[in-house]
């Protein structure tokens, strides 16, 4: 299990996401941003809009995805 923060994934805070894969933490970040937006947290709005754009334009977003996968792979377990 590895941990990445909201900030490491392009968000504004230090909320920690844990997962067995980069995809796990990316999905957790998506949920976190959605919940923050629904709660009226404007600090996460920019990151939420970027995440929505990535899901709508996956080919353009492959660089971000590869960067996250690489960063996740470099993390130590724990």
Domain residues of the chain, as ranges?
2-72
- Cα–Cα dist 54/37, whole Å: 17
- Cα–Cα dist 40/17, whole Å: 21
Mapping DSSP to helix (H, G, I), strand (E, B) and coil, where does residue 14 land?
coil
Q: What pTM did the predictor assign? A: 0.87
Predicted confidence band of residue 68 (pLDDT cuts 50, 70, 90): very high
Q: Which residues pair with 3 in a beta bridge?
A: 18
- Cα–Cα dist 67/51, whole Å: 14
Q: What is the pLDDT of residue 57?
A: 82
Q: What is the pLDDT of residue 59?
A: 82
pLDDT tens for residues 15-66?
999 999 999 999 999 999 999 999 999 999 999 998 888 878 878 789 899 9
Residue 6 has pLDDT above 80, yes or no: yes
Which residue, chain included where needed, has tokens 């809009």?
49
Kindly state the DSSP code that residue 44 receives in the 8-state scheme: G
């Amino acid at each position: 299990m590895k941990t990445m923060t909201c900030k490491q994934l392009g968000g504004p805070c230090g909320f920690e996401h844990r997962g067995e894969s980069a995809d796990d933490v990316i999905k957790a970040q998506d949920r976190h941003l959605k919940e923050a937006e629904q709660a009226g947290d404007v600090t996460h709005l920019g990151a939420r809009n970027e995440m929505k754009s990535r899901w709508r334009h996956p080919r353009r977003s492959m660089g971000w995805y590869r960067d996250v996968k690489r960063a996740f792979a470099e993390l130590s377990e724990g």
